[in-house]
Amino acid sequence: MAVITIDGIRLEVPDQKNVLDCALEAGIYIPHLCHHPDLPENGSCRMCIVEVEGQEKPVTSCTLKAKDGMNIRTNSEQLTKLRSLALELLLSGHPEDCSTCPKYGNCELQTLIQYIGANNARMKCRTKGFKAQEENPLIVHDMNRCVLCGRCVRACNDLRGVHVLQYQKKDLETYVGTLHNKLLKDADCRFCQACTEVCPTGTIRDKRQMMQENAKKEDVVVPCRSACPAHTDVPRYIRFVKEGKYDEAAAVIREKVPFPQALGMVCNHVCELQCKRAEVNVAMSIRNIKRYAAEQDTGSCWKGKGKQLPDTGRKVCVVGGGPAGMTAAYYLRKQGHDVTVKEALPTVGGMMSYGIPAYRLPREVVAREASVITDAGVKVEVNTKVENPTGLLKEYDAVLMTIGAHVGTRLPIQGNDLKGTLLNIDFLRQASLGKSAEEIGLGKKLVVLGGGNVAFDCARTAKRLGAEEIHLACLEARDVMTADDEEIEQAQEEGIFVHPAQTFERITGTDAVTGVDFMNVKSFHFDENRRAIIEKEEGSEHHIEADTVIFAVGQRPDLDESCGMEVFRGSYLVLKEGAKSAVSVEGMFAAGDVVHGTKSVIQAIADGRDAASEIDIFLGGDGDISEKLAPEQIADPHIGSIEGFGYQERKGTHVTPCELRKDNFNLVDYGIREGDICAEAGRCLQCDLRLQISPPRLWGDYSDKKEANV
């Protein structure tokens, strides 16, 4: 330890520690620009100069090492003058107009200008005349605004070990860039964005708007995590997968969701839509990485380690054992409540068991993951349809409605009730229950109306049940169909004819379906009242022969006004103002599709978590259902350079060839191969590393503190 004196204040500090950090940590502000706590010192900007007793000239405090007995002054006439001069020099090549800069109001240089109060009036000013480089993904370079503090260069080289950004010289102007001004991707940039994080000016900026209203910085910086409805910590589990630590990865996923493997197979992966890697080349295969971890998981990290609060004696009934209901039941049980799930069908799982076909999600996966929930003490009553939900309040302290949306929608067109017309969800449920084509009423020639994943589930299930000619028609054009691309492609491989941009004019036939009349759609959009506006192509009427038509145009909950709770549009439960799951009747709650209509498994799980938390509070708990299952992860900030990183392609999955899959319900997609998993996980940009970087220390923070101390 060394005892030093700064502005008369005696400080005990570690030997060799730089005086700037000593001062800042002691609440004494010294202006600084090129210094950054996470980077080696540059000592170039001369803002942090101080006077040391016994030394003739001012020295930079960032490079000054504390020594016992050192007596330091941070302010004097000379220092003020020199700092001012340094800033004036920096500003001689910096654009004057702050208000047009995207960094305005969030710029360290701007705060320094305010603190020091200098401008460029005494200087010979120049415009550097660089062209802003906007061709790179994620990152914009505008070297006109650069004051050459060199933080980005040190972040790229010393902190990250990537060695992409270097000092360069063009004629007399020094600037920061890549060797030979290559594009970042060609210079093997890892797109970690540490450079943008440390830049104190508007020179190196994020292309994505960072200052979104009501958005936390970490949500914008790590968009996959914030896009996930359950906020699964994507970069953390991807990192574990890359290291081959699958148990740890699965534990990270399990901290947020109780159905990791099912999600790994069927999640609609909104995370991938937000993945920043998509802007470099192709998004990470997040879902399949999750799946791989879940499939390899032995449970060593989480089994028997989660939270289990002592019994509270409060009773909760969950109506409907789908993902929302089972998730809520699980976390309510962990909070110590006595939970019973009442399920109308023979097994739990909801749409995971009776909607999504088994070739996409094997039933044993759902059963295995559900057993973790029953093992935790959740009681399940199957084949139990609840007719009077509010009546359950006599027996239970709280009731959660998670009945999903199990009634298919029949379009109001001519012939919609002919023999041979089926509803999506009825058809899929029957098939899931093991019924034959004959029992279900499926003929040989089928038209599926609808273009979402459910429509494809119907078409492909029909194929497996023996239908010979299958057509799928939808209003949307091919590029805006809501089904996943891989679903559409696999269906087409299996011989299903896809007809995008069609209107359904009528179903023909007198006693039974003989076919469907269509017209081509010229344009189609929704107006501000969410009404479909369709322009048809004249003279484009055509007919497809069929003996069966399946409506796959949406589902709604099996509920009406008589349920005793406030409903919306005939069958959806309405939440109380500001509530996450409470409905109009005290003690009644709702979550999942019954509230917002069909969405996704992950949304249902997220809703189930919210409901569990809210019900726990209602029952007297603290509502904190968070769990820590995975071990602490030390993410190495030194990511190093990888040749061709930006060009690494997304790894595909192992898909059963068409001939072997189209007549059975065996699994179609086996996920990423063992040999590819590490490479795919290695493609991650690790956006979360950026959150490790220390925030800037601005004088405003210090002046507040000093005032507070007075």
Binding site for another protein (CB under 8 A): 16, 40, 42-46, 57-58, 65, 82, 85-86, 89-90, 92-93, 122-124, 126, 147-148, 150, 167, 169, 172-174
Beta strands in 119-237 (DSSP E): 139-141, 166-170, 173-177, 204-206
- Distance in Å, CB of 139 to another protein, minimum: 22
Closest CA to 457 of 417, 503, 423: 423
Contacts of 359 (CB under 8 A, 6+ apart): 460, 464, 661, 664, 665, 666, 667, 668
- Distance in Å, CB of 94 to another protein, minimum: 10
CB-based contact 319:588 (threshold 8 Å): no
- Distance in Å, CB of 33 to another protein, minimum: 9
Q: Around Cβ 524, how many Cβ atoms within 10 Å?
A: 17
Q: Among residues 89 and 407, whose Cβ is nearest to another protein? A: 89
What HEC string does 397-446 produce?
CEEEECCCCCEECCCCCECCCCECEEEHHHHHHHHHCCCCHHHHCCCCEE
Cα end-to-end distance, the chain, whole Å? 29
Q: Among residues 92 and 436, whose Cβ is nearest to another protein? A: 92
Q: Among residues 128 and 307, whose Cβ is nearest to another protein? A: 128
Record the tokens describing residue 68, joined without a space. Answer: 């016992």
* Helix, strand, coil percentages, rounded to 5, for the chain: 35, 20, 50
- Distance in Å, CB of 89 to another protein, minimum: 4
Amino acid at position 261, single letter? Q
- Distance in Å, CB of 145 to another protein, minimum: 15
- Distance in Å, CB of 219 to another protein, minimum: 36
Q: Among residues 84 and 133, whose Cβ is nearest to another protein? A: 84
Record the tokens describing residue 707, joined without a space. Answer: 């005032």
Q: Among residues 48 and 286, whose Cβ is nearest to another protein? A: 48
- Distance in Å, CB of 204 to another protein, minimum: 17
Beta strands in 144-297 (DSSP E): 166-170, 173-177, 204-206
- Distance in Å, CB of 65 to another protein, minimum: 4
Compute the residue count for the chain: 710
- Distance in Å, CB of 99 to another protein, minimum: 24
Q: Among residues 45 and 544, whose Cβ is nearest to another protein? A: 45
Q: Among residues 45 and 605, whose Cβ is nearest to another protein? A: 45
Closest CA to 498 of 513, 509, 485: 485
- Distance in Å, CB of 122 to another protein, minimum: 7
- Measured N-to-C along each axis, helices 485-493 and 453-465 cross at an angle, to the nearest 10 degrees, of 20
Q: Among residues 41 and 566, whose Cβ is nearest to another protein? A: 41
Rounded Cα distance between 404 and 591, Å, is 8
Q: Among residues 167 and 647, whose Cβ is nearest to another protein? A: 167
Q: Which residues pair with 523 in a beta bridge?
A: 535
Record the tokens describing residue 363, joined without a space. Answer: 């039933």
Rounded Cα distance between 308 and 644, Å, is 47
Please report which residue ranges of 117-182 form alpha helices under DSSP H: 151-154
- Distance in Å, CB of 31 to another protein, minimum: 13
- Distance in Å, CB of 105 to another protein, minimum: 24
Q: Among residues 49 and 575, whose Cβ is nearest to another protein? A: 49
Rounded to 5 degrees, φ, ψ at 170 are -125, 115
Q: Among residues 89 and 210, whose Cβ is nearest to another protein? A: 89
Q: Among residues 156 and 345, whose Cβ is nearest to another protein? A: 156
CA 84, 88, 91, 96 dihedral sign is positive
Q: Among residues 124 and 569, whose Cβ is nearest to another protein? A: 124
- Distance in Å, CB of 46 to another protein, minimum: 5
Q: Among residues 65 and 705, whose Cβ is nearest to another protein? A: 65
Closest CA to 592 of 327, 310, 241: 327
Rounded to 5 degrees, φ, ψ at 316 are -125, 135
Q: What is the DSSP string of 304-341?
A: TTS--PPP---EEEEE--SHHHHHHHHHHHHTT-EEEE
- Distance in Å, CB of 4 to another protein, minimum: 14
Rounded Cα distance between 550 and 410, Å, is 9
Q: Among residues 37 and 441, whose Cβ is nearest to another protein? A: 37
Record the tokens describing residue 673, joined without a space. Answer: 């191969």
Q: Among residues 58 and 500, whose Cβ is nearest to another protein? A: 58
- Distance in Å, CB of 86 to another protein, minimum: 6
Q: Among residues 60 and 555, whose Cβ is nearest to another protein? A: 60
What HEC string does 480-542 produce?
HCCCCHHHHHHHHHCCCEEECCEEEEEEECCCECCEEEEEEEEEEEECCCCCEEEEECCCCCE
Contacts of 183 (CB under 8 A, 6+ apart): 135, 136
- Distance in Å, CB of 88 to another protein, minimum: 9
What HEC string does 691-703 produce?
HHCCCCCCHHHHH
- Distance in Å, CB of 87 to another protein, minimum: 9
CB-based contact 20:13 (threshold 8 Å): no
